Amino acid sequence: MADLNIPNLNIKSEKYIFKKKLNLRRKSKRRLFTESFLLFNLGVFLVYINYLIPNKNLLLQNLPSTFNKSFLLLIDLFSYLYEIFLVIFIFASYFTAVILLFGSFYRLFRISKRKSKKIIYK
């Protein structure tokens, strides 16, 4: 009987779960004026920065060829990255092989130097 789930009819609808957390107050006229003034200043600043950029028309006309050149450079980059990673793998594998060979020779040396009889005292 403890496993029986009885629905609770007193739970409010999930539709209004965040309604109490919303800020429903209106902004004051002063705050609206300051926000609009800041937005206007930011817009004028961006227009001024765009005005200072030289040769805008030439940049816009060369945009498709620039994208084409960038795409070709990206393809070249990936082909060169393959070669770079291959060289890095070669160096890393040689380094690992040298360490493994050195370790195996060191163990063989330690085994050959080991005394034939060990006396264990208890």
Q: Where are the domains of the chain?
A: 17-113
Q: How many CB atoms lie within 10 A of CB 111?
A: 8
Sequence-distant (≥ 6) Cβ neighbours of residue 50 within 8 angstroms: 56
**Phi/psi class of residue 55: alpha, beta or left (left: φ > 0; alpha: ψ in -120 to 50)?**
left
Task: Note the pLDDT tens digit of each residue in 12-70.
Answer: 556 666 666 666 678 888 888 899 999 999 999 999 999 999 998 998 899 999 999 99
Task: Note the pLDDT tens digit of each residue in 71-117.
Answer: 999 999 988 998 999 999 999 999 999 999 999 999 988 888 876 66
pTM of the model: 0.41
